[in-house]
C-alpha cells in the first residue's frame, strides 16, 4: 500500500501540472476582441465562472466524500473538455459564457478533493507535517503548467485563437489517464455520510465557528480576488498600460512564472499574516497608479504574498476538517471565498465596460484595501484570542 500512496503524490504532481496545461489563458482578452466582444464580456464571464464554482462547491465536495475523489475528478475533466469544445467551435459570446460556466463547475469538482486526497495519503504515510510543502509544490506545478502552456499559446495563436482552445483538450485527456492510476485511501466508512444536509452544515460549521479560520477565510477570499483580478483582467490592464499586443501574453507568462515560484517557497516563508496582506495591497495600489515600466514589474511581484496567505488558510482548515468530510470542508472554504469574490468581480466588469481597465484597477484596489482595513479594525481587539499557531 505504501508504494501506491507514494505514487499518489507523484501522480498529484503530474495531475496539477497537466490540468492547467492549457493554451487559452494568455490570449483570452485577445480572443474576445477578435469576436467583437468588449471588456465587459470578460467581467460577466468571470462572474459566471465564479457563480458556477460557488454553486457546485459544497455538493461536489460531498459527492467526493460519499462516492470517491477519483469519480469527481472524472466529472471535472468531462466538464472542462466540454468547455473547451463549446468555446472553440461556435466562437460566440453566448457559448463563451457557457464554456466558462463549465470551467467553473470543473474547478469546483477538483477544488478541495485534490488536497483532501493528498492529506489522506500523507496521513497513511505518517507524513502529515509535509502537507504545506507538498501542497505548495502542487500549486507551483499548476503555475508552471500555465506558464509552459502560455509560452506555446503565443505561437498557437498565430494560426487562430480557436486553436488555443481546441488544442487544450489534448493534455486534459492525458489527465484522465493520471486519474485512473491514482489510489484512494479510506479513512472512514461511507455509512457515516447518511444525511447530506446535516453533513454539509457540519462541514461549514467547522470553519465558521473558529474565529481564526473566519479571519483566514475572509483574508483568503480577498487575496483570491486580487489574484483573479490580476490574472483575468491583467491582460486588459497591461494592454492599456503597454499598448503592445505582442508583449501582453509575454508579461502574463512571466507573471504566471512568478506565481509558480511563490507557491514553491511559500511554505518556507514565516511572516505575520497581516504583514503579507499589507504588502499585497500596497503593491496592488501602486501598480494601479504606476507608469508603463513599473506596472508590469509589480504585476509580476504581487503573487508571492497572495499565495502565502492562501496556503496558510488552507493548512489551517485541514487541521479542523472532520476526516469523513475533508473534501466537503475544503469545498466549504472555497465556497466562502467565492462569496467574497463574486460581487466585486461583477462590479469590476461593469467599471471596465468602456474598456478602461486602469480605472477598474484603481477603483477595485482602493475598495479592497478599505474592506481589509475594516476587517482588521473589527478584529483588532480580539486578535489576542486567536491562536498564533493557526495564524
Is the pLDDT assigned to residue 56 strictly greater than 50? yes
pTM (2 decimals)?
A: 0.74
Is the pLDDT assigned to residue 183 strictly greater than 50? yes
Closest CA to 225 of 360, 106, 37: 360
pLDDT tier for residue 16 given thresholds of 50, 70 and 90: very high
At 330 the pLDDT is 75
Q: Which spans in the chain are helix H? A: 2-19, 28-34, 39-67, 69-88, 93-110, 113-124, 131-156, 161-166, 169-181, 196-208, 211-232, 234-242, 247-265, 273-288, 294-301, 303-320, 326-351, 357-380
DSSP 8-state code for residue 352? T
Class of residue 388 by CB neighbours under 10 A (exposed 0-12, middle 13-18, buried 19+): exposed
Is the pLDDT assigned to residue 80 strictly greater than 90? yes
Class of residue 311 by CB neighbours under 10 A (exposed 0-12, middle 13-18, buried 19+): buried
The dihedral built from the CA positions of residue 318, 322, 323 and 325, taken in this order, carries a sign that is negative
CB 295 within 8 A of CB 238: yes
**Mean pLDDT computed over every residue of the chain:** 77
Q: How far apart are CA 342 and CA 335, in angstroms?
A: 10
Range in 25-39, 112-126, 347-361 with the lowest mean pLDDT: 347-361
At 384 the pLDDT is 44
Range in 32-36, 279-283, 309-313, 353-357 with the lowest mean pLDDT: 353-357
Q: What pLDDT, in 10s, does the model give residues 21-55?
A: 999 877 887 788 788 877 678 778 877 887 898 88
Go through the chain and tell me how many residues it has.
391
Q: Is domain 2-184+194-385 classified as CATH 3.40.1690.10?
A: no
Q: Which sequence spans correspond to the domains of the chain?
A: 2-184+194-385
Q: What pLDDT, in 10s, does the model give residues 256-272?
A: 777 787 778 776 765 56
Amino acid at each position: 500500500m505504501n508504494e501506491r500512496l507514494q505514487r499518489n503524490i507523484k501522480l498529484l504532481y503530474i495531475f496539477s501540472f497537466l490540468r492547467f496545461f492549457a493554451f487559452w489563458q494568455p490570449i483570452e482578452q485577445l480572443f474576445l476582441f477578435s469576436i467583437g466582444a468588449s471588456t465587459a464580456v470578460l467581467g460577466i464571464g468571470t462572474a459566471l465562472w465564479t457563480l458556477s464554482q460557488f454553486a457546485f462547491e459544497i455538493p461536489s465536495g460531498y459527492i467526493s466524500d460519499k462516492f470517491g475523489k477519483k469519480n469527481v475528478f472524472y466529472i471535472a475533466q468531462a466538464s472542462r473538455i466540454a468547455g473547451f469544445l463549446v468555446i472553440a467551435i461556435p466562437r460566440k459570446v453566448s457559448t463563451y459564457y457557457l464554456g466558462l460556466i463549465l470551467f467553473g463547475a470543473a474547478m469546483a469538482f477538483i477544488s478541495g478533493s485534490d488536497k483532501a486526497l493528498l492529506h489522506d495519503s500523507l496521513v497513511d504515510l505518517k507524513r502529515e507535517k509535509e502537507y504545506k510543502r507538498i501542497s505548495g509544490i502542487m500549486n507551483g506545478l499548476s503555475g508552471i503548467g500555465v506558464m509552459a502552456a502560455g509560452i506555446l499559446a503565443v505561437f498557437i495563436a498565430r494560426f487562430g485563437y480557436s486553436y488555443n482552445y481546441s488544442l487544450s483538450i489534448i493534455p486534459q485527456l492525458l489527465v484522465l489517464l493520471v486519474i485512473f492510476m491514482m489510489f484512494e485511501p479510506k479513512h472512514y466508512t461511507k455509512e457515516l455520510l447518511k444525511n447530506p444536509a446535516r453533513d454539509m452544515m457540519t462541514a461549514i460549521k467547522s470553519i465558521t465557528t473558529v474565529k481564526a479560520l473566519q479571519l483566514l477565510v475572509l483574508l483568503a477570499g480577498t487575496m483570491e480576488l486580487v489574484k483573479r483580478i490580476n490574472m483575468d483582467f491583467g491582460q486588459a490592464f497591461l494592454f492599456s498600460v503597454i499598448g503592445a499586443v505582442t508583449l501582453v501574453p509575454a508579461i502574463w507568462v512571466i507573471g504566471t512564472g512568478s506565481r509558480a515560484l511563490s507557491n514553491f517557497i511559500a511554505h518556507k516563508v514565516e511572516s505575520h499574516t497581516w504583514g503579507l496582506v499589507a504588502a499585497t495591497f500596497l503593491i496592488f495600489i501602486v501598480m494601479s497608479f504606476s507608469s508603463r515600466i513599473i506596472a508590469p514589474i509589480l504585476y509580476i511581484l504581487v503573487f508571492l504574498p497572495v499565495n502565502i496567505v492562501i496556503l496558510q488558510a488552507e493548512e489551517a482548515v485541514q487541521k479542523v476538517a472532520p476526516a469523513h468530510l475533508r473534501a466537503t470542508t475544503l469545498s466549504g472554504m472555497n465556497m466562502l471565498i467565492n462569496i467574497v469574490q463574486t460581487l466585486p468581480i461583477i462590479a469590476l466588469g461593469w467599471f471596465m465596460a468602456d474598456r478602461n481597465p486602469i480605472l477598474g484597477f484603481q477603483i477595485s484596489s482602493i475598495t479592497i484595501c478599505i474592506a481589509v482595513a475594516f476587517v482588521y479594525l473589527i478584529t483588532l481587539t480580539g486578535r489576542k484570542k486567536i491562536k498564533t499557531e493557526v495564524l
